[in-house]
Structure formats: structure tokens, C-alpha cells
Amino acid sequence: MDLSRLDILIYGHDGRGLGHVSRSAAIGMALRRIYPHLKVCLLTGCPLTQELIGEVELDWIKLPAYDTVVIDGRSSGIEGPGGFEDKELGQLRAEQIRQLVALYRPRLVLADHTPQGKHRELIPALEYETDDPPLWVLGMRGIVGSVAQVGSELAPDLYRRYYRALLWYGDSTVLGGDHLHTLQTRFATEPLECGYVSRLIELVSVAHPSVMHRYGCTVSIPWFGEHTERFFDRLIEAIGLVGPDYGQFRIFVGGDDPAIYQQRLEGLDFCTIERFGSQYVEALCSSRSAIVFGGYNSLVDVLSLGIPALAVVRDMQDREQEDHLKTLIRSVGTRLTAILEDECSVEQLYTMLVDRMKTDIDPFALPVNLGGAEKAARSLAALL
């Protein structure tokens, strides 16, 4: 029997944070919302993918997961949760992706951030010879950063040989035109500006839902780096100084079992610690403030809800998050305040927490384009 083709395969690589997979999931959800007749599938190794998608009808395929560790501000691949070494995983995923492309025969493949994949795992699929090859499309975040895979000589060569379009998930009115120009020069193509991609907008189906101040603050710690344990201890001490007057604190952590941090909350009955999951969205939508780390996904979450947020900046060598935050803060004003993870004190955290929970902002007056998922979805459908 001659099987019908998959319309769109979306590949979001995984490892340290949720940004790549979150953007990929958001675009997949937008495609299913606007074009329910299209066959769309998300491909990733991220173990939290189902929590990101929630109950939206977007199918996905789980690859063996990458894992990383951060040492002196530099991220390095380590043995994955399945026991395979980083390079082995790249080889295994490369063959698996090639087989999936051969089996499902997608009409279009959207890859997030790097033309070759994190460890060149997309190259066998790109080189796979068939009578009906897919259209390949590359999607890039607002500030690319010093990503080795993007800066390599291989990246523009692969783009020239196999890719048909470049989507930019940024807003030039906020970030300026330099990033678009850099991509245009690097890949010798005109990027399509989509705007920021918000998974939360797709998940709640409304761009700016009303915020019920049921909780005082929602805290998101998607992964623990080399300074996060000390930051966590200072944060808990600061929350103790704030007390229960502003409402409950809900802390969500990724990776480790939340129970190992529970004893640190002794005496703080107004504070809970939970594993990152579907409850995170409900908590964030119902909080008067938020503490998030400064990744693309987390920042877009809080901006889309219009709640005051404290963004924690990790000490990473590429400075991508720090540069992005500085630019965003200039545009959104009191919506965002930044603090350095490894330098903040308990007193600073206490002062900023109280300030965030006292701040009132207009959720409808956001000077940032967050319609990137829908724009990307419509662009992909037009290419088909």
C-alpha cells in the first residue's frame, strides 16, 4: 500500500534548556490550530516535550536525549540518560532521523537553529536521495549568539545546498536590524521576520489572558548549573523574609526529583516545590509575579502573560542571554528586571521580589511582537 506523506516534520534539538524544543512545539501547535488538515509531527529528544505541548493535538516522536553540563560558563555534552556518550548519540540520532525521513517522506522539514543539527545529526537526512525530497527550512532565534555550529564553515554550505527558506524568530523593532543583516550575510538569503515565538500563547489559545492573583510568585528553574544551588539557597532565604503576605510561592524545577529540595523549605508553609509540568502554566497564569531564568522560552512566557518578572542571568561565556535581556528591558521597561545568578545577595533578592509583586503593568501594552508561531506556521503552509 502506498502511504500518504507527512506534511511537516519539525526538528528541535535538546540538551541544556527548553528554548529550541519550546519554539518547535509552539510552531507545531500553531500549524495544528490553523491547518488541522495538515499532518504535522515534532521530533526531539527532550523528555519534557509532552508537558510543553499539554493537551494540544500535536504528535511527536521521542529520540534518545542529549545531556550537557556547564563548567566555567561553557556548555559541554556528556553521557545521555540512556547511557550513550555524546558523540555516540549524535551518530545514533543521525541514522534514526534519516530513517524517519525515508519512512514518513515529509514534504517539508523545519530545523531549529542549526542547519546540521547539534552534532551533525541532520546531515544524513539532508543527503538522503529520493525522487521527492522535502523542502528544508531553517528557523533561528532572535539573538543567535556564538553558536559553534552556526559559525562553522559547514553551516552556510549546507544551507546553500539543501535549504529553501530562513525564518527569524525575533522582532527588529526591539532587537534592531543587525541580527537580520548578520543572518542575511551568513546564509546569503533574505530571512523572514516572524516575531517572537510563544508556546504559552498557543497553549492557552489567548494572547493575553487575564491574570488571577491566586499566587504571589511562580519560580521556574529548568536546570541546575554550577551556581544554581547557591542561588537557590539565597532565594529561599529571601522568600522567608518576604513571608506569606503576598500569597503562595510555587517553585518548579527540571531534572532532579523535587523531593531533594523539600527540606530546604522547612517552616515555609506558603511555599511548594514541584517538578516542571503542565501545572506550571496554571501557576504562571495565576501569579502576580514570576522569577525565571533568562532563556528565550521563559522570557516570552512571562511577556505573553504581562506579569512582572525577575529574570536570572547565568554566567555563560557566550553572553547571549545577558545581551538579549539588556535589549528587551530597554523595550519593555518595568515588566522585566534582571539579576546575576552568581552575584546576587539575599537582600537584593528580597527587595526585587517585593518590588515585582507590588508592580502593576498593562498586559495589553506590550511593545514586542509575540506572533511568531502563527507567522511561521502560515509561512510554512505557503511554502507547501
pLDDT, residue 187, reads 93
Helix (H) or strand (E) holding 155: helix 154-162
Phi-psi region of 5 (alpha: psi -120 to 50; beta: other; left: phi over 0): beta
Q: How many CB atoms lie within 10 A of CB 151?
A: 13
Buried b (16+ CB within 10 A) or exposed e, 175-196: beeebbeebeebbebebebbbb
Three-class SS state of 206: coil
Task: Provide the pLDDT for residue 374.
Answer: 96
Bridge partners of residue 137, in order along the sequence? 110, 165
For the chain, what percentages of helix, strand and coil (3-state, to nearest 5) are there? Answer: 40, 20, 40
**Predicted pLDDT of residue 68:** 60
In single-letter form, the type of residue at position 294 comes to G
Question: What is the spatial distance between Cα 219 and Cα 235, in angstroms, rounded to a whole number?
Answer: 10
Task: Please tell me the distance from the alpha carbon of residue 333 to that of residue 322, in angstroms, as a whole number.
Answer: 16
* Strands across the sheet containing 108-112: 59-62, 40-44, 8-11, 108-112, 135-141, 163-169, 192-193
Kindly give the pairing relationship between strand 74-78 and strand 67-71.
antiparallel
Measured between alpha carbons, how far is 284 from 271 in angstroms, rounded to an integer? Answer: 15
Let me know: does 108 contact 75? Beta carbons within 8 Å: no
Q: Return the closest-CA partner of residue 145 out of 29, 26, 16.
A: 16
Q: Residue 7 contacts by C-beta under 8 Å, 6 or more apart in sequence? A: 38, 39, 40, 106, 107, 108, 384
* pTM score: 0.90
| Structural domains of the chain, with CATH | 8-204+369-383 (3.40.50.2000), 215-358 (3.40.50.2000)
Cell 526531539 identifies what position? 44
Q: Given this model, what pLDDT does residue 31 score? A: 97
Record the cell numbers describing residue 275, joined without a space: 517538578
Q: What is the pLDDT of residue 153?
A: 85
For residues 6 and 41, is the Cβ–Cβ distance under 8 A?
yes
Distance from C-alpha of 116 to C-alpha of 162, rounded to nearest angstrom: 10
Q: Note the pLDDT of residue 21.
A: 86
Of 3, 1, 25, the residue nearest 12 (C-alpha): 25
Q: CA angle, 144 as apex, 30 and 301 as ends, to 5°?
A: 45
* Angle at the Cα of 99 from the Cα atoms of 382 and 109, rounded to 5 degrees: 15
Distance CA 112, CA 117 (A): 8
Question: What does the pLDDT read at residue 81?
Answer: 62
One pLDDT digit (tens) per residue for the chain, 384 residues: 567 899 999 998 876 667 688 899 999 999 999 999 999 999 998 888 888 888 889 999 998 877 665 555 555 566 566 667 777 888 888 999 999 999 999 999 999 988 998 889 999 999 999 999 999 999 998 887 655 556 678 999 999 999 999 999 999 999 998 889 999 999 999 999 999 999 988 987 633 444 556 899 999 988 887 888 899 999 999 999 999 999 999 999 876 677 788 888 888 999 999 988 778 888 998 999 999 988 888 899 899 888 899 999 887 666 677 788 888 888 888 889 999 998 899 999 999 999 998 888 776 678 899 999 999 999 999 999
The continuous run of DSSP H or E covering 215 comes out as strand 215-221
pLDDT at 209: 44
